[in-house]
Chains A and B, each alone.
Chain A
Amino acid sequence: MVRRIVYLFLLITIACEHSPEDELPIGATKTVIQGWITDQPGPHAVTVSTTAPYNSNQPAPKISGAQLSIWDDEGNVFSLTESTEPGTYQTHDTVRGVIGRYYTLQVITQEGQRYQSLPELLGPVPDIESLTCQPETQDDIEGCMLSVQLIDPLNQSNQYRWKVSINNQPQDLPADIRLGTDEFVDGSQVTVSLGFYQSQPMDVFEVEQLSLTTPAYDYLLNITSQSLGLGTIFSPAATSVPGNIFNAGDPQEEVLGYFGASSVAVATVIK
């Protein structure tokens, strides 16, 4: 946390830009599995794909025809079906995660590889006390500073993620992954600034507040630090982001991705 603040203002320097892309190495192709289950009504989606060369400038190649299922610790199994979008698999609309249960994802590819996630606890999340949109103009752009207020539950470690949509349009650039931890503020009423968003009057802001386990929080934190300004001498060593998926038949295989579980609290505000 401290670290991020420090390199915030060291990142960009007297920049002269030039791309060394022709020197880029191409690594082995790895399987990537991303998915999340929440306590909201379904469908809950999982994508299965592979890595691509860094400068491919194309969507990642998808893996179709796999069999996916989500298991909970009470023996319930929910199967997923591939949607019209190849490589994207969904649960039935009625599937809904339950707070306090552990969830595991299983993926069996057409080649017979069986991938599994580590069991993930779906933890509770406090309500959003208030969501405010403070109109502001930054560099002649009109918008608002968005912030949420919540009361963090005392004596337990809580991590949060906030997802912002404007007029039902999810904001999903790397900088939009907003994370928080109660490491310093356990049990307090806190105000979290979600940053500045460009918007017009009457825009509808919706904020989802998700609970995260510590590994899920670390995973997302690594995803953001890895996709935002890596490579400086002030950034951590550039590495693969370790997730919670493994190949049950070959634990040595490097698999990327995370299967998470969250409960969600929602609030809406109109500018």
Chain B
Amino acid sequence: MQKLLTLTLLCFTGMHILTAQSSPLDKSITMEPGTYTIEQVLKDISAASDFSFSYSPDQVPLDQRVRIADTEQTVAQVLTSIFKDTNIDYRARGNVVILKKKPGPKANRITLSGKVTDQNSGEPLIGAYVKVADRPYGAVTNPYGFYSLTIPAGDYGLWYSYLGYQSATYRLSLKKDTRLNVELADSLMTLEDVTVTSDPQKNILNPQLGVNNLESQTFSNIAYLFGEVDIISGIRLLPGVSTVGEGASGFNVRGGGIDQNLILLDEAPVYNSAHYFGLFSIFNPDVVKDVKLYKSSLPANYGGAVASVFDVRQKEGNNKKFRLKGGVGIPAVRLTAEGPLIKDRSSFLVGFRSTFVDLSSFTFNDGTLENSEAGFEDFNAKVNYSLNEKNTLYLSAYLGRDEIAMDDGENLQWGNSSATLRWNRILNQRLFANFTGVFSRYDFRVKQLAGGSPLEIAAKISDYHLKADYYYYLSPRHQLDFGGSIVWHDFEPGRYTWNNRTTELDQEQALEASLYVSDEFTLNPKTTLQLGLRYSAFFNVGPGEVFLYQSQLPITTNTIIDTVQYHNLELIKQYHNLEPRISLVHTLNATSSLKFTYNRSAQYTHLMSNTTTSMLTDLWKLSDSYLKPQIGNQIALGYFRNFDQNKIESSVELFYRRVNNVVDFKDGADLALNPAIETELLQGEGRAYGMELFVRKKAGRLTGWVGYTLSRSERRIKGRFPQETINSGSYYPSNYDRTHDFKWINSYQISKRWNLSANFVFSTGRPVTLPDGRYEFEGTIVPDFSSRNQQRVSNYHRLDLSAQLLGKNKKKKRWQGSLTFAIYNVYFHKNVFDYKFEQVPGDPYETRIVESSLIGNAIPSITYNFEF
């Protein structure tokens, strides 16, 4: 803060006060015409009158010379004339005249804006850093590669950088608003020659906490099951992220359920991210450009999930030259083509992935899938077109399908499809807008025999989104984001056809609307605050039937007292929520900072699954008269510290999250095709807390990270009646509670051609419910369970290795091949997958518990990848 000086000068000659009036500004003074400095004029006025000036000497150009023409003028006239070429404003308060800089837009500020892209492919770089040398100014590119920086006019050194790329520097004399599009060159292929600089303290300066940003290259340096690069398997290796086991779909973030993550593929929500029961995920690694996981700080433009947002962006397509990329692995073949359609205006990308062998033949090889065939396919496409410098259109689409066919005619199919149309518009140098329309669908179909005839069961959920997002670079200290969205949810929970007769469960429909505003505000050079507010509204509408239940009794099918019919679009139930989002960073010095975050978010869609992991037939349900939205509140505190010129990043984060209305199910709940599903639902409270340690080395021959999480995840279901209560209403560990979770991921570049990777993971076994009693029903021994999740399976640990051999890099050869050899579960550890409680054949009273593992030995694989 600048100190205000008050100068009071009393006597001076050559000036007389002629009339005495109320305001000092109305007084007339006489001055000799001539040239004076501003300081002299002020001194003269003060000396000739009984008032003083108050100003900050470094704001007022005291040495500037001004001409005084008339001899007799009012003070106001003198001041107006002497300050006419400056941005100084004057104002009287009592006997003091205050001189201040004019508020509002400053005439001498300019805006520097543009796009940062990859030099080879023209892909926008998300989160690239723009820094002004020796000044506290900086900007980060948004998800479309756009940046904007408003700074005083002047000569500057500018530094553009992005992880894994060579940084670029410019010396510019900025006099007016300037557009500067910058291309950065990938430095991965030239590791030997160039020192790769990591982002300048981005992790230190960014107010967000609990955000992991991984580039697609990071994923390819990890060893995977069957060698298939998999984004979700990669994400599970981060601290705070876990899974209940191999063969489980999705992932758990900070003790949250898999349905508490919002998974976005080019802004389209993905309701089931699993291929083949979760051993693989729906993301073709060759088309993925950038992956961001928000575990704690949740920007206000995201909503609808209480645990995390997982934002996957597909590549835009190379706009410089035609490229082919692909590979052959054990489970799948991949081929991606990209290239320019119209030079510098339009480019495309098409990706295809398919299993070419029957997956069941080498996975569940115990005979259960012996006569079945299983496989999956993915199709990705993206095209963009620049209408002009300021308007660009993007269209992207995804289509994925899984199928399992069994020899007895049973057939299962499921998959996601989505399409995103985006219009990026640069409204002016500082205002950037993005309008998006999204369609997303998940559906499954099961065919089987029932009563001697084929039965087909099908269900689907569809979402239609319209969004507008604005990024307003108000000033170097303020970045304002605002916008809104409307989502139409259309869920068809079940339709079954038997003997040409079709029966359907009631469709569910809802409108979800939101508005948000967020300001990233630099309080002072050390402190940045991100303040956001999101308002969400949810309207469940007809047509539909809602059962009414006796209020004093448990909700069961026997306590239905009435049914209310709703017409098409008639309002059934509405919910409104305000969701504040706060993130704060305080830098301690150039290499360390403290961060704090608080966020609240509301979730209106819920996965109806009472299994430890979700199955493909588990459907999502919308909040309605009985199913209340889940509300999550999280606070987190973090300390971030970089070492060795920012090559090593480290952090400690503490978090506490509480979720109201988590969904659980009554004992023995039947969820499939149940028209009165509320009779099986329970809602309670979830809480999770813990500490995450993370050390990541981003540059050099050895890269990778070590993560450790100490945490607890619990829930409490305390209903009005014993049958609406779990574990007598006390807290119990959730299915995905892991006390200790350790991950060690690294990659070592031995030479230009050889790269070695190793991952080791260890975690406390997941909670499990073991029988604490038994009884008989006719000849059947029935296990009995008193309380949920009180025991644990044994600890999980595993080591995976992989080696990557790049083909010889000849300058003229465009074909670049590589081989990846991988071994999953190197030391044959039999991690417990499940327990079975069963009767021993031949003895009516003997029972046993059988522990089994999905993967009991080391699984080697070889994958060939190429780029052309």
Known: A54-B847, A60-B774, A236-B610. 5 other contacts (CB 8 A): A3-B617, A10-B364, A50-B775, A232-B612, A232-B835
Residue of A nearest to B612 (CB): A233
* Interface status of B306 (Cβ within 8 A of chain A): no
Q: Let me know if B775 and A256 touch, CB within 8 A.
A: yes
Whether A185 touches B498, Cβ cut-off 8 Å, given contacts A21-B849, A233-B613, is: yes
Q: Let me know if B771 and A12 touch, CB within 8 A.
A: no
Q: Let me know if B610 and A185 touch, CB within 8 A.
A: no
Q: Mark B479-502, 1 if CB is under 8 A from A, else 0.
A: 000000000000000001011000
Whether A17 touches B851, Cβ cut-off 8 Å, given contacts A24-B772, A56-B774, A191-B451, is: yes
Q: How far is the CA of A57 from the CA of B847 in the complex (A)?
A: 6
Residues of B participating in the A interface, judged by any CB pair closer than 8 Å: 244-245, 247-248, 277, 364-369, 372, 406, 410, 412, 446, 448-453, 455, 457, 496, 498-499, 503, 557, 610-613, 615-617, 665-670, 672-673, 722-723, 768-788, 790-791, 794, 830, 833-839, 843, 845-857
* Interface status of A221 (Cβ within 8 A of chain B): yes
Residue numbers in B under 8 Å from A5 (CB-CB): 410, 446, 448
Q: Which 4 A-B pairs have the closest CB atoms?
A: A190-B451, A172-B779, A191-B452, A27-B772
Among A5, A56, A239, max chain B CB count under 10 A is at A239
Q: How far is the CA of A182 from the CA of B783 in the complex (A)?
A: 28
Residue numbers in B under 8 Å from A149 (CB-CB): 452
Q: Can you report 10 A-B residue pairs in the complex whose CB atoms are below 8 A from each other?
A: A3-B617, A17-B851, A34-B776, A52-B773, A54-B783, A231-B837, A233-B611, A235-B834, A236-B665, A237-B665
Q: Let me know if B837 and A54 touch, CB within 8 A.
A: yes
Q: How far is the CB of B261 from chain A (nearest CB, A)?
A: 18
Q: How far is the CA of A46 from the CA of B289 in the complex (A)?
A: 66
Q: Mark A187-227, 1 if CB is under 8 A from B, else 0.
A: 01011110000000000000000000010001001111011
Q: Let me know if B839 and A15 touch, CB within 8 A.
A: no
* Interface status of A25 (Cβ within 8 A of chain B): yes
* Interface status of A59 (Cβ within 8 A of chain B): yes
Among B365, B406, B769, B836, max chain A CB count under 10 A is at B836
Q: Let me know if A236 and B611 touch, CB within 8 A.
A: yes
Residue numbers in A under 8 Å from B457 (CB-CB): 2, 184
One of B368, B617, B785, B787 near A9 (C-beta < 8 A): B368
Q: Let me know if B837 and A27 touch, CB within 8 A.
A: no
Residue numbers in A under 8 Å from B668 (CB-CB): 218, 222, 236, 239, 241-242
Q: Let me know if B775 and A14 touch, CB within 8 A.
A: no
Residue numbers in B under 8 Å from A27 (CB-CB): 772-773, 784-787
One of A6, A52, A241, A257 near B615 (C-beta < 8 A): A6
Residue numbers in A under 8 Å from B616 (CB-CB): 6
Q: Let me know if B498 and A229 touch, CB within 8 A.
A: no
Q: Let me know if A60 and B851 touch, CB within 8 A.
A: no
Residue of A nearest to B835 (CB): A231
One of A14, A20, A54, A188 near B365 (C-beta < 8 A): A14
Q: How far is the CB of B144 from chain A (nearest CB, A)?
A: 39
One of B785, B839, B852 near A238 (C-beta < 8 A): B785
Residue numbers in A under 8 Å from B503 (CB-CB): 184
Q: Mark A50-75, 1 if CB is under 8 A from B, else 0.
A: 11111111111000000000000000
Residue of B nearest to A256 (CB): B775
Q: How far is the CA of A14 from the CA of B834 in the complex (A)?
A: 11
Q: Let me know if B412 and A6 touch, CB within 8 A.
A: yes
Residue numbers in A under 8 Å from B773 (CB-CB): 26-30, 51-54
Q: Let me know if A59 and B776 touch, CB within 8 A.
A: yes
Residue numbers in B under 8 Å from A170 (CB-CB): 778-779
Q: How far is the CB of A80 from chain B (nearest CB, A)?
A: 18
Residue numbers in B under 8 Å from A184 (CB-CB): 450-451, 455, 457, 496, 498, 503
Residue numbers in A under 8 Å from B786 (CB-CB): 25, 27-28, 240, 254
One of A10, A19, A177 near B851 (C-beta < 8 A): A19
